[in-house]
Amino acid sequence: MIEVFVEVIASFTQYYDQPLRCFTFGDFQLVPTVEEFEGILGCSLGGRKSYLFSGFYPSMARVAKVVKISVQELERVKQNRNGVVGIPKKRLEEKAKALADQGEWTSFIDVLALLVFGVVLFPNVDGLMDLAAINAFLAYHHSKESSAVVVLVDAYDTFDQRCKKNNARIVCCTLALYVWLVFHIFHHESRHVCPLQGHYICAEKGKANWEQLMAGMVGASVNWFPRWKEGGARVLSSCEGFPNVPLMGTRGCINYNPVLVIRQLGYPMKGAPSEESIAPFIA
């Protein structure tokens, strides 16, 4: 289990540069990348379709088949809290316990996995399993679609919201973001093929004064390229004729700037990016 210190993430968001969609420190920039989130979440896009939220919620009939709760009951317990529609997490937890008690392990695992999607990957309203998260789970459950891109975009959406409203809640997969941050800040002597393995053995993260550490960071101290990405040839670098890459999450769209992540992908960055390559085309 990974303990995430939310105050660390809150301090980190102060460095968010909204126009560029990156984190700007004294003499360098860091960008949470699609490739890094693929590795952290274990949701590789290789040979898989990326999940794309269509803006439409799944039918209660589709949900009922997976969670083994009748359509009628799902409709009865479904809630709408400030525009977020979902199923109470407590009801799904009760169902998971009942399935375990009955020894129906396949269905139990499905409901447990759904809870992980809603609580860890796509958190939104406390105590409510957002139908957007349920839809992402169904896409994985039925078609093995990767959620890496959507999880990343939802994190960017959280940073954008905090730029607009300073006390906005951090509503994203903080676990993935925390693992990503620890990797780039602390150097690891040994080679790890799994990002979580490196995170577990990093003792410095629990002792650091994070605010002071981030305030004093310079480019020379950053752990730029993940060793667990060595040998990976696939990177997201462009999208047809667009100046950068449009990506869609469960709450909106962003402009993703691959030109800013060249150094993190193991390539030298030669000079400043052109204004065209980082010009936003999604308001």
Q: Write the pLDDT tens digit of every residue in 58-110.
A: 999 999 999 999 999 999 999 999 889 999 999 999 999 999 999 999 999 99
Same domain for 45 and 178?
yes
Last residue of a domain, one of 96, 115, 143: 143
Q: What does the pLDDT average to over 193-220? A: 74
Cα–Cα nearest to 250, from 50, 81, 53, 37: 53
Q: What does the pLDDT average to over 33-51? A: 83
Last residue of a domain, one of 102, 120, 143: 143
Within a domain: residue 55?
Answer: no
Q: What does the pLDDT average to over 263-278? A: 68
Within a domain: residue 83?
Answer: yes
- How remote is the C-alpha of 62 from its chain's centroid? 25
Phi then psi for residue 154, to 5 deg, are -65, -30
Within a domain: residue 1?
Answer: no
Q: Take residue 165 and report the two structure tokens written for it.
A: 């409203």
Q: State the pLDDT confidence band at 212, using cuts at 50, 70 and 90.
A: confident
Last residue of a domain, one of 112, 143, 174: 143
At residue 28, does pLDDT exceed 80?
A: yes
Number of folded domains in the chain? Answer: 2
Same domain for 229 and 160?
yes
Within a domain: residue 214?
Answer: yes
| Region label for 83, one of left (φ > 0), alpha (ψ between -120 and 50) or beta (otherwise) | left
Same domain for 137 and 157?
no
At residue 193, does pLDDT exceed 60?
A: no
Same domain for 79 and 102?
yes
Q: State the pLDDT confidence band at 206, using cuts at 50, 70 and 90.
A: low
At residue 213, does pLDDT exceed 70?
A: yes
pLDDT in tens, 119-166: 999 999 999 999 999 999 999 999 889 999 999 999 999 888 888 877
Same domain for 139 and 153?
no
Same domain for 135 and 235?
no
Cα–Cα nearest to 272, from 262, 281, 280: 262
Percent of the chain at pLDDT exceeding 90: 35
